[in-house]
Structure 1
């Protein structure tokens, strides 16, 4: 969520497109609901592009169940294998402008049919069982933040996108941003 907001603050044109989509599909007379998410493909593209650039778990670890050969290399049984999702999602042989934030690269693409070039939740039997819940919660929360508030950077400088260290991929520094109620939603916000 913090990565998505950081990216959107650095790219206000994408934030505007997301707000326009939410305004068109949901309007201003009610709050965004879970049932709206399937009608917000651009919001979903933003989430996917954020997960591509900043996967929650940048390294996935598996253990081989039996001897096998992968890419011409012998992998003995019980070998710990690491897959660097951060590198896979930024591979210039797979992605055009791989370090550029571009939600439109996901237009018309279903992640399940996109092969193994985009796998923020893993794949197969070991795919994250919380993927559906995570996507709904991030969609609802990010969508609500976009619907209900106008967001700006603090100052003119771009938001620092430095990565921290850890098992997950945290930001090096917390996001600091300014927001004010969206005038079109002010009547709804004051009723909370």
Structure 2
């Protein structure tokens, strides 16, 4: 019994770690891609970090709660490029969806990607607009949908079966993106060595949203935190 419990805990810990790190790396990649393609947003994130952190130390995990625009950028990336395109649920009771009768106990696929790009739920759903997550509470009261409260923003699923590694994954994504923005400028390089203004955001075919073309860029140091402690 004890041995079985140990194996269960080990498996659960492994799943949480691997699941959160694997999907987080994709989120970080897509976030940096969108920031490179939107220099104004990139500079706005950097200005927010500088206003909170200053110019003498590296951004810390405790700073993230005071960086709402950074959080909005990551959220918008998750909306456009969720770790999973679909999730599954079992119907607890018979129901009718879109004119179709769904019997009790039927497994259904929920299109998370489709929900988060639905023009009936989102304005300009295919556009990268982090500001949509900075709507004031007063304005949200007059909106038809509150994206943080209704089942419209679902990168990790929802309810009791939502992704258990979401908080760890978000923490990793916030810190990685914040550090990459604070410390480096990024220049995209093409296969022939020429600089390109935009990153190709074509998505590869498959069950996951991977980049069809690898991101090739050069990191140019903007801020070296080690200079401040030496």
Q: TM-score, normalised by structure 2?
A: 0.76
Matched-pair contact (CA < 8 Å) for 1:63–1:80: yes
Match of 1:186 in 2: 224
Q: Distance in 2 between matches of 1:133 and 1:158?
A: 30
The answer to whether residue 206 in structure 2 is matched with residue 166 in structure 1 is yes
Q: Deviations over 1:130-151 (max 9, x none)?
A: 1111111100111111111111
Aligned to 2:89: 62
Partners in 2 of 1:63 and 1:189 — Cα distance? 55
Alpha-carbon contact 1:29-1:188 (below 8 Å) kept: no
Contact 2:57 2:225 in 1 (8 A): no
The Cα shift of 1:72 comes to: 4.7
1:51-87, CA deviations, whole angstroms, 9 ceiling, x for partnerless residues?
A: 1111110111222244333455321133221111111
Q: Does 1:85 align with 2:115?
A: no
Structure 1 residues 152 and 191: alpha-carbon distance in aligned structure 2, compared to 1, 3 A threshold: farther
Query: Aligned ranges for residues 106-117 of structure 1 at < 5 Å?
Result: 106-108=133-135, 113-117=148-152
What is the CA–CA distance in structure 2 between the aligned matches of 1:102 and 1:112, rounded to whole Å? 14
Distance 1:48 1:71 in 2: 29
Quote the residue 1:75 is aligned against.
Answer: 102
Q: What's the RMSD between the two structures over aligned residues? A: 2.1
SS for the counterpart of 1:165 is: coil
Q: In the alignment, does 2:219 pair up with 1:175?
A: no
Aligned residue among 54, 72, 80 for 1:27 = 54
Range moving further from structure 2, 169-178 or 73-82: 73-82
Q: Which runs of 4+ in 1 moved over 3 A?
A: 68-73, 108-114, 189-192
How many residue pairs end up in the alignment? 190
What corresponds to 1:144 in structure 2? 179
Note the C-alpha offset of 1:102: 0.7
Structure 2 residue matching 1:86: 3-state secondary structure: helix
In the TM superposition, what whole-angstrom CA distance separates every residue of 1:30-57 from its partner, at most 9, and x where no partner exists?
2111111100000001000001111110
Question: For the residues of structure 2 that align with 1:109 and 1:189, how far apart are their CA atoms?
Answer: 39
C-alpha distance in 2 between matches for 1:162 and 1:75: 35
Larger Rg: 2
More helix by share: 2
Q: Does 1:47 align with 2:85?
A: no
